[in-house]
Amino acid sequence: MNATVREWISKAEGDYATAERELCATGTPNLDAVCFHAEQCIEKLMKALLIHRGVTPPRSHDLVALDRLLAPVCPGWSWPMEELRLLTRAAVDFRYPGDSADQTEASESFEIATRMRAKLRSPLDCPATDAALRGVQAPPTQLVATACFSCRGFVALGP
């Protein structure tokens, strides 16, 4: 893995940590930021994987377009288009006045990002989970809940 790919991954992990921290925040979490940083994490991991596979990614924030570039160079790669569109829309729409994310939209964005992150990190030879990075055992409900290390609890992401 080259330095550019490592930097993309590092930036993606920063976005993921920010989304997680905001989702776990007590008081008034910035739910718009959860959606934005969830999308940014995935966009950056998709670009890291493209670079890792020898493809120069476009300067685009469209996850559907990035998905179309990944499919030919990553055997077995596929992701539901509706989830890609949801993340893309949530990152853009909630950045401006007139529309704000609610708890459900923020949780859904983070849950999609959590699943996508695991799948995108695997071919990049990254540990599969935060728990692996921290040397702790992952919770058995990994796909429906994620550990919130900043608040030392768990955030339910759905059934």
Q: What is the CATH number of the domain that holds 80?
A: 1.20.120.330
Exposure string over 20-35, b if 16+ CB within 10 A, otherwise e: bbbbbbeeebbbbbbb
Share above pLDDT 70 across residues of the chain, in percent, rounded to a whole number: 79
Residues 6+ apart with CB under 8 A from 157: 107, 108, 110, 111, 114, 143, 144, 145, 146
The reported pTM is 0.80
| Domain presence at residue 39 | yes
Its domain, for residue 99, covers 3-128
Residue at 157 is within a domain: no
| Rounded-to-integer distance, Cα 39 and Cα 146, Å | 17
pLDDT band at 134 (very low <50, low <70, confident <90, very high): very low
pLDDT above 90: residue 68: yes
Q: Domain for residue 89, yes or no?
A: yes
How many domains are there within the chain? 1
Q: Is residue 15 part of a domain?
A: yes
Give me the mean pLDDT over the 94-103 stretch. 91
Task: Give the per-residue pLDDT at 145.
Answer: 38
91 falls within a domain: yes
Joined tokens for residue 140: 């058995």
In a domain, 145, yes or no: no
Report the percent of the chain where pLDDT is more than 90: 66
Terminal CA-CA length for the chain: 36
Q: Could you tell me the pLDDT band of residue 138, with boundaries at 50, 70 and 90? A: very low
Inside any domain, residue 134: no
Separation in Å, CA 88 to CA 10, 41, 123, 143 = 21, 11, 23, 21
CA 33 to chain CA centroid, nearest Å:
13
